[in-house]
Chains A and B, each alone.
Chain A
Amino acid sequence: MATAHITVEHLTMAYGDFVIQRDLNFSIGRGEVFIVMGGSGCGKSTLLKHLIGLQQPAAGAVFYDRRNFWEANAGQRIELMRRIGVLYQSGALFSSLTLAENIALPLREFTELSQAEIADMVSYKLALVGLAGFEDYYPAEISGGMQKRAGLARAMALDPEILFFDEPSAGLDPVSARLLDDLIISLRDTLGTTIVVVTHELASIFAIGTDSVFLDPDSKTMLATGNPRQLLAESDDPRIIQFLTRGQGRGDIRMGVS
């Protein structure tokens, strides 16, 4: 396996006294497509919030390249956060800005590029996600799938080392979801970006995942980690098999397993 980019040690997540997940241990290798999966309400999105520094762990630690995120001071933390890009579930584009302004915002704040260079960069990022020519549109004027891709263009604006996706295929038709998956893979292949995807979309999990963690809402901890195809082939845990086969059991179908 590649060297660890993010390491999670004994992480416990809680809202007040209400524990979501406890004692999570896994690491995300450089250049992996890491899937965070599990049923609804198991704490996938909460785990994402912990990974991207929006929420502080109740116990345990998150390391970026062996640097403890929550023990770093505020300045270092901002430095670490600038190396990641996040695509939120509904795009989270700023609705009062055009697509071009949305993508230009981090470029303008954190780089020394000139206006013309920023405009070129915006056009390039939009072209990458298949939205060439949509610079002057407001988020409300384009469809949900396009908003999502525009959100990806913004997440990629600063060439992040790690890209996080929260339910990338939610609300997309199967073809668009597939295209987004392809896009994620080509970004990983060309830029070497580490990708972390929170999803329960089986097709995506098997199509793009190279590593994963499976969270269980009942026992409130992780059940397994590893390549999702391998998990399907080798796991003995009926809960994982149930999830990965849409409740049909291993005997019936082997989706996407080659």
Chain B
Amino acid sequence: MRKVESVQQSDNIGRVSLRPGENASAVLEIGGRWLRDAGTEAVEGVLASIAAQSVKRLEIRPVGLEAWDSRLPCYLLKIADYCTAKAVDLDIAAMPQGVRDLLVLARAVPERAGARRQRERSSLLVNIGTRVLGLAKDSRLLLVFVGELILAFGAVVRGRARFRLLDLFIFIQDAGPNGFPIVSLISLLVGLILAFVGALQLAMFGAQIYIADLVALGTVREMGPLMTAVIMSGRTGAAYAAQLGTMNVNSEIDALKTMGISPMEFLALPRILALVLMMPLLTLYADLLGILGGAAVSYSAFDVSWVQYYNQIVKAVDMVDVAVGFGKSVVFALLIAIAGCMRGMACGRSASAVGDAATAAVVDSIVYIVVSDSLMTLVLNQLKI
């Protein structure tokens, strides 16, 4: 359809016709305009008729050839390759000099043996097997990373770790104070939502006052640490993976290694330290805002006064609950930072690999967070803490 249009527009058509000669020879006549969008007969058709006539000598000759660009040598290259493969004698001496030169150039470097790849269709079993092996490789990577990290922490304790204090402060600034706005917004709204959902049920029994218990306990033990962790994995974990991944693409990590500086100490350690130091504090802040959100709902919609709300919270939440939330957030921070740094340092060397590393870091850290949270909740429940 489109072909026909372009033909009508400019008479853009490349003509080709095969004239059989004597003694299994043939002449291929090339004419017309062989320009970018020109319509031509598919080269496969020409090759098929050459094969059908079992041609042994082929001459290509221009007949009324008006203009050409890459289309023509591209077309002739297919024919020339066919002739080489089938041991057909090819004569292109009559073609324009430029076409001949380009053909020579295109055939100057023979295809490297084994370069071409077979597109193989892998079966389901192979796919599953590859995935399982990949999983095993990933877990090994994680173990090695954690091992190296412990060694690096050892170096910190002995005061021998090589990293710049300034870096640590920059990362602290980035992971802590710079995270305030988003953490404030999310935790305030989650507190509001929690209060509303709970209050509608509790109000049926006239037990609105227990909104305070629900919100405070839920926020301090679970939602505060969890929401902060999810925010930070997207905000900071992904950033770590992208930073380290880009450094890997630029060979900066190699440069550190050859200087004899451990990238684990110099790059990963300050990032992990910063997040582990800042995230528990952010979590406490998130707890506070969540409780405030709950208070706003109770006060405005369910007639609970600020003082009642406060007193109820003091009764419901004790330091153990706060400590549980605090402890969880330390664990989450460690997991997020490890996932981010590990994926970044294991990043491939291309732009898309950096994106993959950031994605993998976020997915990993969210899985780690949820799994570890479930485990901790179970254990704490059994211990009656």
Residues of chain A at the chain B interface (Cβ within 8 Å): 94-96, 111-113, 116-117, 120-121, 123-125, 127-128, 130-140, 156, 158-159, 183, 186, 189-191
Q: List 8 A-B contacts (CB under 8 A).
A: A95-B353, A112-B2, A113-B36, A116-B44, A121-B74, A124-B73, A134-B116, A159-B70
Binds A, one of B106-114, B204-212, B325-333, B360-368: B106-114
Query: Does the CB pair A112–B3 fall under 8 Å?
Result: yes
Contact of B203 with A by CB under 8 A: no
Query: Does the CB pair A138–B350 fall under 8 Å?
Result: yes
Contacts of B101 in A (CB 8 A): 186, 189-190
A91 CB → nearest B CB, Å = 12
The answer to whether A124 and B70 touch (CB under 8 A), given A111-B36, A130-B108, A183-B105, is yes
A135 and B112 CA atoms in complex are apart in Å by: 12
Contact with A along B36-47 (1 / 0, CB 8 A): 110000111000
Residues of chain B at the chain A interface (Cβ within 8 Å): 2-3, 6, 36-37, 42-44, 69-71, 73-75, 77-78, 97-99, 101-102, 105-112, 115-117, 119, 348-353
Query: Does the CB pair A132–B350 fall under 8 Å?
Result: no
A125 and B105 CA atoms in complex are apart in Å by: 10
Closest to B114 in A: A133
Closest to B35 in A: A159
Contacts of A158 in B (CB 8 A): 36
Query: Does the CB pair B350–A128 fall under 8 Å?
Result: no
A175 and B158 CA atoms in complex are apart in Å by: 53
Contacts of A95 in B (CB 8 A): 350-353
Closest to A192 in B: B98
> Other than the known A121-B71, A189-B101, A191-B69, what 15 A-B pairs have Cβ atoms closer than 8 Å?
A96-B351, A111-B37, A113-B36, A116-B42, A116-B44, A120-B74, A120-B77, A124-B73, A132-B111, A133-B115, A137-B117, A139-B350, A190-B97, A190-B101, A191-B98
A190 and B98 CA atoms in complex are apart in Å by: 4
A123 and B76 CA atoms in complex are apart in Å by: 12
Contacts of A124 in B (CB 8 A): 70, 73-74, 77, 106
Contact of B106 among A117, A128, A136 (CB under 8 A): A128
A25 CB → nearest B CB, Å = 33
Contacts of B111 in A (CB 8 A): 127, 132-133
Which 7 residue pairs of A and B lie closest in terms of their CB atoms, listed nearest first?
A95-B350, A130-B109, A96-B352, A124-B74, A133-B115, A127-B106, A133-B111
A138 and B353 CA atoms in complex are apart in Å by: 12
Query: Does the CB pair B112–A133 fall under 8 Å?
Result: yes
A112 and B77 CA atoms in complex are apart in Å by: 20
Query: Does the CB pair B350–A96 fall under 8 Å?
Result: yes
Contacts of A123 in B (CB 8 A): 74, 77
Query: Does the CB pair B348–A140 fall under 8 Å?
Result: yes
The answer to whether A121 and B115 touch (CB under 8 A), given A113-B37, A130-B108, A130-B109, is no
Closest to B2 in A: A112
Closest to A134 in B: B115
Query: Does the CB pair B74–A133 fall under 8 Å?
Result: no
A96 and B6 CA atoms in complex are apart in Å by: 33
A55 CB → nearest B CB, Å = 22
Contacts of A135 in B (CB 8 A): 116
A163 CB → nearest B CB, Å = 13
The answer to whether A136 and B98 touch (CB under 8 A), given A113-B37, A128-B106, A159-B69, is no
Contacts of B106 in A (CB 8 A): 124, 127-128, 132
Query: Does the CB pair B102–A128 fall under 8 Å?
Result: yes
A114 CB → nearest B CB, Å = 8
A100 CB → nearest B CB, Å = 11
A127 and B3 CA atoms in complex are apart in Å by: 27
* Residue from B109, B112, B349 whose CB has the most chain A CB atoms within 10 Å: B109
A252 and B115 CA atoms in complex are apart in Å by: 46
A189 and B74 CA atoms in complex are apart in Å by: 17
A123 and B82 CA atoms in complex are apart in Å by: 14
Query: Does the CB pair A140–B349 fall under 8 Å?
Result: yes
A133 CB → nearest B CB, Å = 4
Query: Does the CB pair B117–A136 fall under 8 Å?
Result: yes
Contacts of A156 in B (CB 8 A): 70
Query: Does the CB pair A186–B105 fall under 8 Å?
Result: yes
The answer to whether A159 and B36 touch (CB under 8 A), given A96-B352, A124-B77, A128-B102, is yes
Contacts of A134 in B (CB 8 A): 112, 115-116
A137 and B98 CA atoms in complex are apart in Å by: 30
A22 CB → nearest B CB, Å = 33
Contacts of B75 in A (CB 8 A): 120
A159 and B71 CA atoms in complex are apart in Å by: 10
Contacts of B352 in A (CB 8 A): 95-96
Closest to A130 in B: B109
A138 and B71 CA atoms in complex are apart in Å by: 25
Closest to B116 in A: A133
A88 CB → nearest B CB, Å = 14
